[in-house]
Structures are given as structure tokens and as C-alpha cells.
Amino acid sequence: MNLRPSISRSTLISRRPEWVLIFASALATLTIVTIVTFLLIRERADDEASAIRSANNVIQLIQTEVLRNAGLYDTALEGIIAAVRDSEFGKIPPSLQRQTLFDRAITAPFRGDLLWVDAAGDVRADSVSDVPRHHNFATDPTFVAHRRDPSPAVVISPPFKDRLGHLGWCVSFSQRISSPTGEFLGVASGALRLAYFDELFKSLDLGANSNVSLLSLNGIVLARQPELPGRALVGQDLSHRPNFQRFLRETSGSFKALSSQDQIERLYTFSRVGDLPLIITVAMSTDTVCAPWRRTALLVGSATGLLCLGIFWLTVMLMRELRLRRHAEAELAALAATDSLTGLANRRSLDQALNKEWARALRQDQWLSILMIDVDHFRAFNERHGHQGGDEALRNVAAAIHSSIRRPADSAARYGGEEFLVILPDTALQGAVSLAETIRRAVEQQPPFANDQRPITVSIGIGSQRIRAGRTLVALLNEADIALYQAKHRGRNQVSYADVRIEA
């Protein structure tokens, strides 16, 4: 029996829990992944913020130390300038002039000498010797700049190799000495060994591929630790590098960028050193900064992946169980709607189909035809071949009926005993007669059962009406039943409808 509309609808309904399960599992997986991703992103941001705080602490430590030393040099230079400007200074005996000029001199490791250089560029007084060391600074760029610029501001020179002693690489803090009338009287200068910064920076542990640098505002590297193997960076000009241009623009802050020296991505934290023309940078490798986060991300990601796989596996198993349950229910429903002997629809399904097709034909003002089929002389056949033979004959008749039905809307059922019924929606009398003849011939042409000389035949009665208000299903069934009675009364193995007989 064909009940496709109701089966399709029930199938969709039965599959609804499966789709709900898939949606719920997908939503749960998406929620877990979203939450874990958010937490990992926040964890990475926290790690970067912690690294920036650490870098700022390092910068503040270095700033404090540099400003303290700059203050000492500033005090010492002011003492030299004040003494030189004093009109009584020239009256002091030469043996006391050195003590007067350098009474505020700085004595500590890595700090260099103090000099008073006159307007001609000659060393007039030296903090390390009663007899000034001989040297002329008239062509020195820093001396020339002081001579041209009347500003009393402290100038920090580019790195230079000490030419008067053995201080190595140094920078100088220098100020112009001017008379009350603005006349250039010379320069007060103090040297600071860059080894001082190297020792200070070496005490800092920033991690692999990380470094700390001290730069002048014109982009000259004053100190850097750790140094690059085989490359001397002190004195190198970085003023045209993109990272240094950003240092100048923003004064202080943090950003991530590739290093122009070794192409390693680093987290740069930088700041100007007070009012001095110096910039401190702490460059921490992002690999070092993110190493703990990567370990956490690997652990959490693996656990999350296993959890999602577990959810997926459970979903697959539940879907499998749902399919098995649906198949079992479908099989039970089919068994409940099918005649176990013939495989056609049973009487219960037949009644449902009749009522449904009647209602549809009534709504749409259509024809509805019914074929009532009865196996001829079945009791006699049953007596000759027994119940097993009779059952086999009924199965053969059912197979012939089923194979003769072509349209999906048509349906066949076992009506009871040796009787069958075929429902033909939207089929007028002529079409019903044609199909009935097809069924009758198909049964008649089957091979004899167990060499029985009497072939199995059927008689068919047709009920056919255009369904309209006032007509009943009972009347249509009675019409088919009466026609079947007429076919049997007139000799069997024929199709009959109303009072007209169609013989074989």
C-alpha cells in the first residue's frame, strides 16, 4: 500500500530530534571554542602587558641611574664654569687652581676626567693632573657647536674613543663657558665611560633574543647589551630606521615590530630620559614573552580539542542510536500497517487510506474508483493443496496485483480472507476497468500451482463515482461489492461494474 505523504511527514518529525542534537552539539562546541579562544587572547594580552610593565621597571631603573650621574656631571660642570667666571680666579696660585676648579669632581669607576678647555681649544685644566695634558679641541664637532651656539645647555656628545687616556669608548657632558657679556671663554667637559652602561645593562636578565639600548636623540647607539656577535653597534647611526623614527615621534610607549638588525620580532618599550637627549629602549623577543602563553595555549587547546572530539563522538553515537530507533519504529509501523502473509497493506491501513482518499476527492471534486477482488474457488483450491498451498496462492495473487499498479497514488490491500481491494484516486470508470483487466490477466497468466490443471483466477467488482457532497464511502464500497457479486454470479474470472459485465 502506498502511504508516501504520511510516511514522509512522520520521517521529518522523527528526524527532528536528530537535527536538534546536531544543532545543540555544534552550539556547545562553538561556545567552548569561543570561550577558550577569548581566554587565550586575554591571557596573551596579559602576558604582553606584564612584559611591558617589567620593561618599564627596567627603564625607570636605568633612568634613575642615568639622571643621577647626569646630575653629578651637571654639578661638576657648574663648579668649573663658576670658577672660571670669577674675576679672582686668575689671582689664585696655579697649584690651587686645579683644586678650586675640580673640588666637585666625580671620582668613581667608569667616570672619566673633567676638563676646562679655553676659547682656543687648548686644555687649560685637567682633573687628573696638575699639569694639563696637551691636546687641542678646536676642530672637535662638540667644541665647534659650543663656540657657535650661545646656549648654556648641557650637550651630550656622540660616542668617541678617549684620546687623552685609556678610558675606551666615552660620551662627554659639556657646557659652554661664557663671560657676563656673552663672550666665548671655552668649554667645561666631563667624560663618562660607556663601559658604565654596559655593566649596568649586563645585570639585567631580559630573556633570549632581548636587549636594552641607550640612544641619543640623533640616533647614535651609545650602549647596547647584549651585543650582536661580530658586530660593534656602539656609534652606529640608526636615525633613518623606522623603529627609531617611532621612538622620536611618540617619546614613550610600546609596540611590536621587526628588528632591522636581525629581523626578529620584538616588543619594544621605550622612553626619553628626563630632559636629556637620550632614549632608553628595552626590546623583548615576542617568542620569549609568549613562551609561557604558548605552553598554556598548547595544553588548553589540546584539552579543548579532546573535549570537542568527545562531544562529536557522543553526538555521532547518539545519532546512530536515534537512527536505529527510528528504523526500528519504522519497521514496527510497517509491520503494523502490513499484512504479514501477502506484504500488502492490512485492513487497518486500508480503512485509513480509504477515508483519506475519500476526503481528498470530496475536497477536489474528483473521481474515486475501488476494485474489489476475490480469488475464484479458493476454498476448493485450499482443500486440494492445504493451507500452505492456499497461502502461497494468496501471495502470488498479491504479487500480481502489486506489479500491475503503476501510479504512486494507487494502493492495494488485503481486505480479508481471499479478498483484496485496490484504491484508485482521481480515476474514472474507464481507467478502473483497464487496470482491473490488467490485474485479472496477470493473475490468470501465472504458472499453474503444483501442476494443478485449474488455474487461479480472480473476479473483480468496480465501484466508481465522482465524489460530491451527499455521497458516502459506504455506498461506494457497496457498489463495488455488488459488482463483484455480479462477476461471480455470471461465471467468475471477469470484471464487472454496475449491471454491465466485461468477460474475459
Q: Residue 257: which CATH number?
A: 3.30.450.20
| pLDDT bucket at 7, cuts 50 / 70 / 90 | very low
Q: Are residues 249 and 353 in the same domain?
A: no
Domain count, the chain: 2
The pLDDT tens digits for 161-171 are 887 777 788 88
Residue 459 maps to a domain: yes
Of 268, 288, 308, at which residue does a domain stop?
288
Determine the average pLDDT of the residues in 453-478.
Answer: 92
The pLDDT tens digits for 145-200 are 999 999 888 888 888 888 777 778 888 889 999 988 889 999 998 888 888 888 88
Q: What are phi and psi of 377, to 5 degrees?
A: 50, 40
The pLDDT tens digits for 293-305 are 999 999 999 999 9
Residue 215 maps to a domain: yes
Residue 104 maps to a domain: no
Q: Are residues 274 and 352 in the same domain?
A: no
Domain that holds residue 248: 196-288
Q: Are residues 253 and 355 in the same domain?
A: no
Q: Which residue type, as a one-letter code, is found at position 228?
A: L
What's the pLDDT at 268?
92
What's the pLDDT at 303?
94
Q: Which residues contact 378 (CB under 8 A, 6 or more apart)?
A: 390, 393, 417, 418
| pLDDT bucket at 15, cuts 50 / 70 / 90 | low
What's the pLDDT at 3?
39
Of 248, 263, 288, at which residue does a domain stop?
288
312-319: Cβ within 8 A, 24+ apart: 312/25, 312/29, 314/25, 315/21, 315/22, 315/25, 318/21, 319/18, 319/21, 319/22
Distance CA 434, CA 428 (A): 10
Does 452 score more than 50 pLDDT?
yes
Of 265, 288, 311, at which residue does a domain stop?
288
Q: Are residues 278 and 399 in the same domain?
A: no
Q: Are residues 359 and 494 in the same domain?
A: yes
What's the pLDDT at 191?
85
Residue 275 maps to a domain: yes
Does 331 score more than 50 pLDDT?
yes
Q: Are residues 253 and 385 in the same domain?
A: no
| pLDDT bucket at 132, cuts 50 / 70 / 90 | confident
Residue where the block lists cell 463483484: 484
Q: Are residues 266 and 402 in the same domain?
A: no
Residue where the block lists cell 695634558: 133
Q: Are residues 378 and 282 in the same domain?
A: no
Q: Are residues 424 and 493 in the same domain?
A: yes
What's the pLDDT at 73?
83
Residue 4 maps to a domain: no
Does 18 score more than 80 pLDDT?
no
Residue 270 maps to a domain: yes
Q: Are residues 360 and 494 in the same domain?
A: yes
The pLDDT tens digits for 491-502 are 999 999 975 444
Residue 201 maps to a domain: yes
Q: Mean pLDDT, the chain, as a whole number?
A: 85
Q: Are residues 404 and 494 in the same domain?
A: yes
The pLDDT tens digits for 70-110 are 888 888 888 888 888 877 777 777 667 777 777 655 555 55
Determine the average pLDDT of the residues in 375-384.
Answer: 91
352 burial level (CB within 10 Å; 0-12, 13-18, 19+): middle
Q: Are residues 272 and 371 in the same domain?
A: no
Return the DSSP state at 103.
T
Helix count and strand count (H, E) for the chain: 10, 17
318 burial level (CB within 10 Å; 0-12, 13-18, 19+): middle
Residue 454 or 13, more confident = 454
Residue 120 maps to a domain: no
